[in-house]
Structure 1
Amino acid sequence: MTDFEDLTRRAAPLEPDAAARDRLFELARSHVAAFLEGLPDAPAFLAGPQVLVRRHEADMPEAGRDAAEVLAYVRDCVDAPGLTAASPRFMGYIPGGGLFHSAIADLLAATANKYSAYVPAAPGAALIENVVVSWLAGAAGYPDTAAGVLCSGGSLATLTAVVVARDARDKAGGGVVYATRFTHHCVEKALHIAGRGAAPRRMIETDARRRMSVEALRQAIERDLAEGLRPWLVVASAGTTDTGSVDPLDAIADLCARHGIWLHVDGAYGGLFRLCPEGQAILTGMERADSLVLDPHKTLFLPYGTGAVLVRDGRLLHASFSASAAYMMQSSEADVGPSPSDLGPELTRHFRALRLWLPLQLAGVAAFRAALTEKLALARRLHARLSELDGFDPGPPPDLSVVAFRYRPSSGDANRFNEELLAKLQDDGRFFLSGTRIDGDLYLRAAILSFRTHVQHVDELVDGLVQSVDALQATKRA
């Protein structure tokens, strides 16, 4: 016979009482405060052998452990080792942010655990997502006909856009895809998943600033048309990952409109710079895209796991993803806009809209505009300072906030020297830069995007680069 009282007693740790909650809140508050207070001086990268040494502490216990002991493990073996994307000196890859407001939003969202995908289940949560998406569409310059959905990041957003483009313009397959060598690799993955892995590809040449050549695109389209092929999809970039380059979006949109080609713009990194006046000038034409990917966990500094896809004709999103089931609530939907589950592939999903809504409510849009303007100016400062230093090739002036540069030693293998320079910076750990290869040459990348990164950090990076170069050259002379 089932002893329900015993089962209830043994399951009780799942529902801590008020005193236990207060203790856990205080421990968590102290943990977060110590992490944030240590960020200004903490390394941006730290190798973590303690993770392996203390691996057993990650195992699942039969009986619960003390909260202080568990949070100490998180501090030492999760927060400390590896990349610290929250650091003002983390300039590798494309930085994430980690706004404190968004951490509070995640706590609120996870506590209430609203099913935000479906309006009848959580009309308030759906309203907030629709408000956030509408704001993003307005920031991108999209018309009122647009619709969109939040998702886990740029990869799922790109897949969503490719599926809509397939359903709208390439149902039978065979359409040609046009992109550059700097197109993010998630596009290839999305084409494969969407059943277009065998679609004909055209690799479009880039100019000296690593932007898509409109003339090369025009010629490729005309060749395909002459051969009886059907151009389907152009993938343009509003800020490439490698160099931050922005393709000539307005001219590309003209070509696509002339030939009825779906224009998809990857704005995961750079699209939201359109919030500031400088960004608007750089991103002219982005608003003409048929679909657009944005990553608020990049350019709006949110925690990882916050992407967005927008489609200019929002009805196409609904046509590709709307679905229903007999078991779902059938009550009439409140007048708060569509259910997010009808606009994308996810059904069960985190209430991620609160991550953006809350900081916008508490800090205001103007604070984000100022931070984005600052990042553009900091990239230009870094490029200018590198241009003044002997031996440094600063690369083309940055379109946005990524500076791809390299050092040219007076003798020896330049690629080898830059590999050693990058390794030295990463081993030191105070700054973290990443690298990339362009036409076989190794470049260092400084991606300036953290809301915590300011002019003193850029100047400190330049000093660190000069010192590292001097130290490497001294070693080679010895």
Structure 2
Amino acid sequence: MKKIQELEKIARQLEPDMETRHHISRDTNTYINNFVDSLPVSPGYTTGNINRLKSMKVGEEGKPFEQLLDILGNEVDAVGINSASGRHMGYIPGGGLWTSAVADMLAAAVNRYAGIAYSSPGAVEIGNQMIRWLASVVGYPEAAHGNLTSGGSVANLIAIKAVRDHYGINASNVERSVIYFTEQVHHCIHKALHMTGLYEAVLRSVPVDENYRMDVKILRKQIEEDRHMGLNPLLVVATAGTTDTGAIDPLDKIADICEKYQMWFHIDAAYGGFFVLAEGAENRFKGMERSDSVVMDPHKTLFIPYGSGVVLVRDRNTLLASNSHKAAYMKDAYGLDEIDPADCGPELSRHFRGLRMWLPLHLHGLAPFKAALEEKLMLCRYFYEKARDSGFETGKAPDLSVAVFRIPDDPDNSRNKKFIRALHEDGRVFLSSTTIREKLWIRCAVVSFRTHLQEIDLALEMIKENRDKVLSEGGRSSVRIAGEN
């Protein structure tokens, strides 16, 4: 008994008293408020060292909260890409809604087990309510269901696995099965194919047209040829908002092809899907409602913090058949009408993810989300036109909110390599680069809900300054810059 009492005294340190909680909460709230308030003037990218962080060791005794907060402020949140900033326009920026952070704190504090309805009917209802709403956004029937995941990678994995299980693809027939996608498909699709064993299928990379969209004429021809060879065309993976350029594949035409040949139609709309909510953008997604499965990332264009993806499957029975399992020790939990998240994906233990979406949507309503999405589309078009008018070579007009540009007359990409290095060294706004058909392009992804006109104008100013710097260092370009004599 004495030993138990001694251990209890030490273990109770894990439950801070009210005064300590108040102190930590006050300092945390001050830290967050200072961070959010400083975002409009903070750089999008910062270099620096993390030496103190690297030297830290977990010991028997704890450290002061102030010291830990100082490490976080100076060597975590102040170094690298400022993901929460409106000046982050590289890759596909994540969200970071403050109201979602509040939801996460509430979810973590009450620590509801959100995997089965028996454990927490309310937590599961919140998640399933979000899934039903998301299915309605896509245009799916009531028979659809899905899973809230950690992101697009796991969401795509669940969908790919559902395809495999639904068609009974195994070692005896996988080498005859054919999967179609383009060079613009996200690399998480390749990872999902490897994880499910479908990398042993015949993988067809369908060429894209001049707008970087899947060429459906070539797709149809390839399917016919594969059928003629005795192969089994299985799956078409389309993209609604490619990472490189934001292109949307011709979804409706692909749906026609999949229906004709009785193939599974999957759409990776992790980045672009929520733009269907923006006024005037609905027609760009025509055909999405005809797909068999779709992936969307609320941590991208619904502005929720990282760790938020969703997979939706038109036929819930297909999803459940691929994931549902029974266990003897869980017999008390069976028999409820609600669909358990644990039966819709690989996770059993899981974060109460639904709350981080449910709270902001109900608190703010849909209107500001729709306005922010429409604003991003318009800002990207504004950026594209300004960059073009400033003498840059530009890609196709943006389908969504990604624009690509480069210094022209650069056949070996040497100037643009210097250009992107200069932009990263500047860091006021973070942009990224990609290679398309051997050309190095700079990407501007207008996705953050904190990106507004002043951030776009700052990006344009930074881009022009560094372009001029690169050209002056490398000799005067023969290209006339707009506005020059």
Instruction: Name the TM tier (shorter chain).
Output: over 0.9
Unaligned stretches of 5+ in structure 2?
477-485
1:36 aligns to what? 36
Q: Aligned partners of 2:123, 2:335: CA distance in 1, in Å?
A: 13
Pairing 1:201–2:203 present: yes
1:254 paired residue number: 256
| TM-score of the two chains, using structure 1 as the length reference | 0.96
User: Given the two structures, how large is their TM-score scaled by the length of structure 2?
Assistant: 0.95
Q: Which residue type is aligned with residue 104 of structure 1?
A: V
Change (3 A) 1:405 1:226: same
Match of 1:386 in 2: 387
Equivalent position of 1:295 in the other structure: 297
User: Helix, strand or coil for the counterpart of 1:150?
Assistant: strand
> Where does residue 211 of structure 1 map in the other structure?
213
1:341-365 CA-partner distances (Å, limit 9, x unpaired): 1111110000011110010011111
Q: CA deviation at 1:298?
A: 0.6
- Measure, in 1, the Cα distance between the counterparts of 2:471 and 2:387: 18
Match of 2:397 in 1: 397
Q: Name the structure 2 match of 1:187.
A: 189
Task: Work out whether residues 235 and 265 of structure 2, in 8 Å CA contact, stay in contact via their aligned partners in 1.
Answer: yes
Q: What letter corresponds to residue 300 of structure 2 in structure 1?
A: K
Aligned-partner Cα distance in 1 for 2:196–2:333: 33
Q: Is the 8 A contact 1:181 1:203 kept in 2?
A: yes
Look up the match of 1:116: 114
Name the aligned partner's letter for residue 363 of structure 2. L
How do 1:67-466 residues align onto structure 2 when only pairs under 5 Å count?
67-172=65-170, 173=174, 174-328=176-330, 330-331=332-333, 335=337, 337-390=338-391, 392-409=392-409, 413=411, 415-466=413-464
C-alpha displacement of 1:331: 4.6
Answer whether contact 2:137 2:277 (CA < 8 A) is retained: yes
Rate the CA distance shift 1:339–1:393 in 2: closer, same or farther, 3 A: same
- Give the superposition deviation at 1:135: 0.6
Alignment match, 1:56: 55
Deviations 1:40-98 (A, max 9, x none): 1111111121x0254223x2132111111111111111111011111111001100011
Indicate conservation of the 8 Å contact 1:121/1:329, yes or no.
Answer: no
Secondary structure of 1:137's aligned partner: helix
Number of residue pairs matched?
A: 472
Letter in 2 for 1:3: K
Which residue identity does 1:297 align to in structure 2?
A: H
What's the CA shift for 1:160? 0.3
CA shift digits 1:263-292 (9 cap, x unpaired): 110000001111123221111111111110
> 1:141-173 deviations in whole A, cap 9, x for unaligned?
111111101011111111100011111124242
Whole-Å separation in 2 of the counterparts to 1:32 and 1:467: 33
- Deviation at residue 12 of structure 1 after TM alignment: 2.0
Give distance in 2, aligned partners of 1:278 and 1:245.
16
Counterparts of 1:122 and 1:419, CA distance in 2 = 53
Q: Give the aligned residue type for 2:23.
A: R
Amino acid at match of 2:156: T
Distance 1:204 1:128 in 2: 40
- Matches of 1:197 and 1:329, distance apart in 2: 37
Deviations 1:416-474 (A, max 9, x none): 11111111111111111111001111001111100000112112211211111111122
Identity %: 44
Q: Give yes or no for contact 2:52–2:71 (8 Å, CA) kept in 1.
A: no
Unaligned runs of 5+ in 1: none
CA contact (8 A) 1:120 1:333 kept: no
Contact kept in structure 2, 1:408 and 1:414, CA below 8 Å: no
Measured against aligned partners, the alpha-carbon deviations of 1:106-141 in whole angstroms (never above 9, x if no partner) come to 100001111101010010000000000011111111
Whole-Å separation in 1 of the counterparts to 2:55 and 2:179: 49
Shift of 1:13: 1.4
Q: 1:2 to 1:194 in 2, by over 3 A?
A: farther
Distance of 1:192 and 1:465 partners within structure 2 = 39
The residue identity in structure 1 corresponding to 2:271 is Y
SS of the residue aligned with 1:436? strand
CA distance in 1, matches of 2:97, 2:35: 13
Contact 1:407/1:414, CA 8 A, preserved across alignment: no
Letter in 2 for 1:254: D
CA shift for structure 1 position 333: 5.2
8 A contact 1:123–1:334 mirrored in 2: no
Distance 2:267 2:421 in 1: 33
Tell me, in whole angstroms, the C-alpha distance in 1 between the residues paired with 2:300 and 2:281: 15
- Contact between 2:181 and 2:238, CA under 8 Å: does it hold in 1? yes
8 Å contact from structure 1 (residues 89, 431) kept in 2: yes
CA distance in 2, matches of 1:66, 1:105: 26
Q: Secondary structure at the match of 2:329?
A: coil
